[in-house]
Amino acid sequence: MSEQSRSEVTGPGHGKAAAPLRRMTARDRDEEHRAATPLELFFDLVFVVAIAQAGVALVHALAEGHIGHGVSGYAMVFFAIWWAWMNFSWFASAYDTDDVLYRVTTLVQMAGVLILAAGVSRAFDHSEFGVVWFGYVVMRVALISQWLRAGLSAHGEERRTALRYAFGVGACQVGWLGLLLLPDGAKPWLFLGMAILELMVPMWAERVRETTWHPHHIAERYGLFLIIVLGETILAATAGVRVALDENEALGDLLPIAGGGLLIIFSAWWIYFVVPVHEHLTSNRTAFLWGYGHYLVFGSAAATGAGIEVAIEESIGKAHISTTTAAACVTVPAALYLVTVWLLHARHSKRGIGQAILPATALAVLACTFAGHWAVLLAGVAAALSVVAGVTVSAIQSRTTATNGTA
C-alpha cells in the first residue's frame, strides 16, 4: 500500500488528526497493523446499555417462570442489538476513512443504538417495537448514507455492491414496519422472516464483488464485542449477589453460584481467545458462516450472565421456579456457547483428542443441571477443567511435534 493511499485511510486511531473530508475508497484487505480505532471502541460502548436492558428483561421473565416468552423475546431483541453492531462493524472494516463526515455519521448511528436500547423493555415485555424501529431508522439513515458515499467514490462492480447494500438495507427497514402494524400474534413470524432477509442482504450484495473487510480487524472487533458481553455477564452476576447480600442472605447459598459463575465466565474468555481465528477467515463463505454464527456466541454468553442472576434469585426465594430450572438457565446457554465456539473456530486448530474436549465439556455442563444448588459450581469446575485439558493436550502435541521434527 503506498504512502499516499495509506494516508487516505488513516486517522486519529493511527496517530493523525481527522481530515474534513476524504474519498471513501475501499481499504486494503492486506493492510498491515490494522487494529480497532478509538471510534470503534466508543461505538461498542453504547451497546453496553442495550445488552444490559435485554439481560434484565430476560432475568425477570425466567425468574417468573415465563420461559417460552423469555427465550423468544430475548432471541428477537438480541438479534436487533447484534445486527445493528454487525451492520456498522463490517462496513467499517472495508471503508473506514475516519474523516469528519465519517465520524459524525457514526455518532448518529450511536444515537440510534441508544434509542434502540430505550425501547428494549417495551419490545420484550409488550411486543411494542415502535422505539426499537425508530432507533433503527436513525441508524440506517446514517448507514445508507455511508454506503451511498462509498458507491459514489467507487466504479464498476464495487459501486454496484455498495448500491445493493444501500437498497437492501433501506428495503428491509420498510419491511420492519410490519412490527408496528400487525397484531401481536403475527409479529414473531414477521420477525423471523425479516431476520432471514436481513441476513441475505450481504450475501446478495457481495455476489457482485466482495468488500475488502480485513480478517485480522474483523476477528479483533468480534473479540472486543465478546469482552463487552462477558463484562455484562459479570455485572449481572454481581448485581444478583449484591441484592442477596442487601437482604442479609447467607453467604453459604451464594458462594457456590458466584464461584461457579466466575469460573464459567473466565473459561468462556480463555476458550474463545486461545485460537488465532483470523487465519480461518479466508473468504466470504467462511466469514459469513463464522460471523453469523456469533449471534449464538454473543447471545448465549449474555444469557449465561442472566442465568447466573436467576440462580441467585432462586437460591434466596425470589424466583418462582424450581432449583433445576434455575440451574438450566445457566447450564443450557453455557453449553450452547461451548458448542458454538467449537463449531465456528476452535475445531479448526485442534488435533486428535483435542477435538473432543469442548463437546464433551458441553455435555458435562448440561449434566450438572440436575445437581441441585451445586449445579452452577460444578458447571464452572467442568468448564475450568476443559481449559486445563486443552492447555495440557496442546502442550503435549507441541512437544511431540517438536520431537518428531528434530528426529
Q: How do residues 344-365 score in pLDDT, each as one tens digit?
A: 987 666 666 778 899 999 999 9
pLDDT for residue 382: 97
Cα 165 from Cα 171, distance rounded (Å): 10
pLDDT for residue 9: 40
Nearest one of 295, 273, 267, 288 to 220, comparing CA atoms? 273
Nearest one of 115, 98, 105 to 10, comparing CA atoms? 98
Check residues 121 and 246 and name the one with the higher pLDDT.
Answer: 121
What is the fold, at CATH topology level, of the domain defined by 215-402? I/LWEQ domain (1.20.1410)
Q: Once rounded to an integer, what is the mean pLDDT over residues 286-294? A: 91
Nearest one of 61, 199, 187, 59 to 132, comparing CA atoms? 187
pLDDT band at residue 5, thresholds of 50, 70 and 90?
A: very low
Task: Confirm if 281 and 218 have CB atoms less than 8 A apart.
Answer: yes
pLDDT for residue 350: 63
Cα 222 from Cα 280, distance rounded (Å): 14
Question: Cell for 52?
Answer: 444490559
As a dihedral over the C-alpha atoms of residue 172, residue 177, residue 178, residue 182, rounded to 10 degrees, the angle is: 170
Whether residue 239 is predicted with pLDDT greater than 80 in this model: the reply is: no
CB atoms within 10 A of CB 187: 19
Residue 98, sorted as left (phi over 0), alpha (psi -120 to 50) or beta, turns out to be left
Cα 197 from Cα 191, distance rounded (Å): 10
Whether residue 194 is predicted with pLDDT greater than 70 in this model: the reply is: yes
pLDDT for residue 29: 83
pLDDT for residue 294: 95
pLDDT band at residue 71, thresholds of 50, 70 and 90?
A: very high
Spatial CB neighbours of 354, under 8 Å, sequence gap ≥ 6: 390, 393, 394, 397
pLDDT band at residue 326, thresholds of 50, 70 and 90?
A: very high
DSSP letter string, 24-58: -PPPPTT-TT----HHHHHHHHHHHHHHHHHHHHH
Nearest one of 99, 112, 192, 109 to 153, comparing CA atoms? 99
pLDDT band at residue 402, thresholds of 50, 70 and 90?
A: low
Instruction: Go through 190-218 and write b for each residue having 16 or more CB atoms within 10 A of its CB, e for each that does not.
Output: bbeebbeebbebbeebbeebbbbbbbbbb
pLDDT for residue 321: 93
Question: Cell for 43?
Answer: 461505538
Question: Cell for 122?
Answer: 417495551
Question: Cell for 371?
Answer: 445437581
- Over residues 266-289, the pLDDT tens digits come to 999 999 998 777 777 778 888 889
- Over residues 109-141, the pLDDT tens digits come to 999 999 999 999 999 988 899 999 999 999 999
- Count CA atoms within 13 Å of residue 381 on its CB side: 10
Whether residue 394 is predicted with pLDDT greater than 70 in this model: the reply is: yes
Mean pLDDT of the chain, nearest integer: 87
Q: Once rounded to an integer, what is the mean pLDDT over residues 374-385? A: 96
63, burial (CB in 10 Å: exposed 0-12, middle 13-18, buried 19+): buried
Full-model pTM:
0.89
Nearest one of 286, 282, 326 to 308, comparing CA atoms? 326
- Over residues 36-61, the pLDDT tens digits come to 999 999 999 999 989 999 999 999 99
Lowest-confidence segment of 4-18, 134-148, 235-249 by average pLDDT: 4-18
Cα 68 from Cα 325, distance rounded (Å): 13
pLDDT band at residue 249, thresholds of 50, 70 and 90?
A: low
Cα 325 from Cα 167, distance rounded (Å): 45
pLDDT for residue 158: 92
Question: Cell for 396?
Answer: 503435549
Q: Once rounded to an integer, what is the mean pLDDT over residues 156-179? A: 95
- Domain locations along the chain: 37-205, 215-402
Q: What are phi and psi of 217, to 5 degrees?
A: -65, -45
pLDDT band at residue 328, thresholds of 50, 70 and 90?
A: very high
Tell me the three state secondary structure of residue 326.
Answer: helix
Cα 200 from Cα 207, distance rounded (Å): 11
Place of cell 485460537: 275
Whether residue 6 is predicted with pLDDT greater than 50 in this model: the reply is: no
Spatial CB neighbours of 200, under 8 Å, sequence gap ≥ 6: none
pLDDT band at residue 8, thresholds of 50, 70 and 90?
A: very low
CB atoms within 10 A of CB 49: 17
Check residues 281 and 150 and name the one with the higher pLDDT.
Answer: 150
